[in-house]
Amino acid sequence: MGSLFGKKQRKNAAADTERCGTPASGGTENKRTEWRAAGRVLLAAAGVTAAVWIGLALAWDFYFDLNDDVLMKDILSGRFTGTPESRNIQMLYPLSWLISRVYGLFRGQRPDVYGAFLLLLQAVSFGLVLFRTIRMEQKAGIAVWMRVISALSVCLPMGVLCLYHAVFVQYSVTCAFLCGAAAYLFMTMDLPGDPEAEGYFRSFFKACLPSVILVMISFPLRSEMTLLCLPLVLCGALFAYVRATKRERVRDCFVGRGVLAVFFVLILLGAGLGAEWTADRAALRDPDWQEFRAYFDARTELYDFCGAPPVPDYDEYEEAYRKAGVTREETELLNNYNFDLDDSMDAAKLEQVVQIAKSARASQTTRQLTLRNAGWNYRNSMVSPAYMPYNVLAAAGYLLLLLTAVSELLHRSLRQKDPIVVRRARRDFIHVLFCAVFLFLVRTALWMAIMIGGRFPDRITHSLFLVEFMILAGLILIRGMRASVLTKEPASWSVDIFAAQLMLIAVSALLLPGQARRVQTESLRREQVNQPYLAYLQYCADHTDNFYFTDVYSTVDFSEKMFAAYPDDRGRDKAGQDGAMPTAHDLCGGWAAKSPLSRKKLAAFGYSSAAQALIRADNAYFVAEKGMDTTWLVRWYASQDITAAVRRADMIGDSFDVWKVTISH
């Protein structure tokens, strides 16, 4: 459609684009002016970002969304073992070492460095997206009020997608923040168009570097989530490269020096991720850690990808269990997640249980049925209210992108008589169509992969939606810039793009109150649900001479606030290296069970294992939610030729029972 700029303004905008984009050689004054302009935008973006997160802090308390992050924080801070640990199991070593060293500077005070780090990464991701949006349009000479509209059209939907996870923080979704920002920066980077130009490789590398750094920060934080999002991130890089390269045909973009630059950046990214992975493996080369890593991988496979219940019925698969040397009582421990009581369960035995579980799952379904169910679940992800507002914003992104592309094609084809302009319009439309179709195919492949795997929690699906939308937002913004090398037109802003951005703002404004209500409801629920957990922590802190082994599922619904002082954070008379003992409680299972860290924690209290401590130590107790049947404990010890009795020793409010396990003579 028509431009919102007048002829004179378009001319000035084009001049600004040329001046800001490639300063003349030796133009020191131009560079200084550009740096000052960029600095003003950076300050504005940082100010807005700080205001957003301060507003979140005033409206709600920040929570760790899952117990995973709570345990990671405890390990890094020293709350788990008494000293800050650099090997954090779920996080790659280079990053976990850095955070643990920061904790070590505080010598036992244990401020929430890990929580602050996650919030910082989220805020930086948001701020970089805001900065890039405004800076692009500043360089193109677009009016200030239009820059505000563009920034709102990108950041308001991003806020809707991220609001819940910005308050209830989870390290996997924080990776999605970083990957989404990396994809957006790739999409909107200012790539040199002519591969034959002087300094092309340096300019290409400089343009890609911010996104590469974000991915390399994300990878050690949660490698699996980064690898899942990486195909989408690389889609953004591909679209930007094809857009910037001066070629009449898309296939011509993949020959010549430009491809060498692409390979160089990919090799650099791969080398960086490989170095982080290698550093983690080197840090865990100790045989104890190697054994635990194999055990951890088998445990993850069993509980995350073998269905529910994870362990098949013993009677139905008794022969397979007998061959594997697995008893009925061991399967009961695995199903109730208290497998730390089984001292004989090692990586080899657990891997055999995984194979039995996989065989059982395979016998209950066919490949065709699995694909059909995955396809049905994928279809639901696009239309089901359960995925709102994430699927709504993704659909709006695709729809508005295609509508603006069709509108512009019709406008330039019907109203322009110059055949060169018409040809460029068609080529531009094909580029947009290629990006939309290719992005949809990649997202379909990723969604089908997780659907076939049978595990697609919100932290994974919401992350995919976020990264996908950031690419769509970047495509829409680029459509409006008119500064791409493909179109070779002065910087301007079309009515159809402006309308599309207003639509995104309107849709997001309608969805934002619902997300805020969801956060408010969840915040109130957690405040109420966590009261028994706080009483449990207070009880453990008040009985520091005892140790409390806790049933895993009895605490699975509880979470912790960030930056809150919990009762068992205070120092004890028996001091570790940082002036505090480990917390006097631990789960009887979970992903840290049987790790060198878990053994170190037990050793600090003089225990060799959880199972032995419960029956041998006078100060060791078992804690479970009120009314839980504990006869499985008696059966477990009986299977070890130990006659045990369980009696209630105390109660923690109305929520937990404290049990003492003794040997009957």
For residues 4 and 262, the model is more confident at: 262
**Comparison of pLDDT for 324 and 361, the residue scoring more:** 324
Contact 13, 492 (CB under 8 A): yes
Average pLDDT over the chain reads: 85
Distances in whole angstroms, Cα of residue 331 to Cα of each of 127, 313, 337: 49, 8, 10
Task: Quickly state the pLDDT bin for 361 (edges 50, 70, 90).
Answer: confident
Q: Mean pLDDT over residues 225-239, rounded? A: 93
| Structure token digits, residue 632 | 């499985």
pLDDT tens profile 564-590: 887 765 444 444 444 567 889 999 988
Q: How many residues would you count in the chain?
A: 665
| Cα distances (angstroms) measured from residue 454 to each of 231, 321, 377, 443, 615 | 20, 24, 10, 17, 39
Question: How confident is the model over 391-419, as a mean pLDDT?
Answer: 82
Band of residue 484 on the pLDDT scale cut at 50, 70, 90: very low
Residue 72: predicted pLDDT = 93
As a whole number of angstroms, the distance between CA 28 and CA 466 comes to 40
Check: CB of residue 179 under 8 Å from CB of residue 467.
Answer: yes
Q: How many CA atoms lie within 13 A of 424 on its CB side?
A: 16
**123 vs 241: which has the higher pLDDT:** 123
Give the Cα separation of 413 and 454 in Å (integer).
48
CA gap 305, 353 in Å, rounded = 13
CA distance 138 to 156: 20
Give dist(CA 374, CA 377) in Å, integer.
5
For 628, list phi and psi in degrees, rounded to 5: -70, 140
- Residue 663, strand partner residues: 644
122 has pLDDT over 90: yes
What is the pLDDT averaged over residues 411-437?
A: 78
The pLDDT of 407-417, averaged and rounded, is 73
Q: Which residue has the tokens 């037990």?
A: 602
How much is the pLDDT for 664?
77
pLDDT digits (tens, 9 = 90+) for 334-358: 998 999 999 999 999 999 999 998 8
The DSSP string of 565-599 is PPGGGS--SS--TTS-PPPSEEESSSTTTTSHHHH
What is the C-alpha to C-alpha distance for residues 218 and 200, in angstroms, rounded to an integer?
28
pLDDT tier for residue 363 given thresholds of 50, 70 and 90: confident
How many Å apart are CA 177 and CA 225, to the nearest integer?
11
pLDDT at 191: 79
Say which range, 132-136, 206-210, 235-239, 245-249, has the weakest mean pLDDT: 245-249
Those residues with Cβ within 8 angstroms of residue 133's Cβ, 6 or more apart along the chain or in another chain: 147, 150, 151, 154, 155, 188, 477
Q: What percent of the chain has pLDDT over 90?
A: 51
Q: Tokens representing 267?
A: 């090799």
pLDDT over 70 percentage in the chain: 88
> Of 157-171, 263-277, 287-301, 400-414, where does mean pLDDT reach its minimum?
400-414
- Return the structure tokens found at 276: 């982080």
Q: Which residues contact 368 (CB under 8 A, 6 or more apart)?
A: none
Structure tokens at 299: 């445990």
| Residue in 54, 88, 55, 67 with CA at minimum distance from that of residue 550 | 67
**Radius of gyration, CA atoms only, the chain:** 28
Side-chain-facing half-sphere of 333: CA atoms under 13 Å: 28
pLDDT band of residue 624 (cuts 50, 70, 90) is: very high
Nearest alpha-carbon partner for 381 in 473, 438, 442, 457: 457
pLDDT given at position 485: 34
The torsion region of residue 644 among left (phi > 0), alpha (psi -120 to 50) and beta comes to: beta
pLDDT surpasses 60 at 214: yes
Q: For 266, how many CA atoms within 13 A lie in the half-sphere containing its CB?
A: 14
Higher-confidence position of 279 and 142: 279
169-183, 226-240, 293-307, 414-428: lowest mean pLDDT where?
414-428
Q: Is 1 exposed, middle or buried (0-12, 13-18, 19+ CB in 10 A)?
A: middle
| Each residue's pLDDT tens digit, 257-281 | 677 888 888 999 999 999 999 999 9
Give pLDDT, residue 33. 82
pLDDT attached to residue 578: 45
pLDDT exceeds cutoff 60 at 6: no
Whole-number Å distance between alpha carbons of 178 and 223: 12
Q: Is the bond preceding residue 309 a cis peptide, omega within 30 degrees?
A: yes
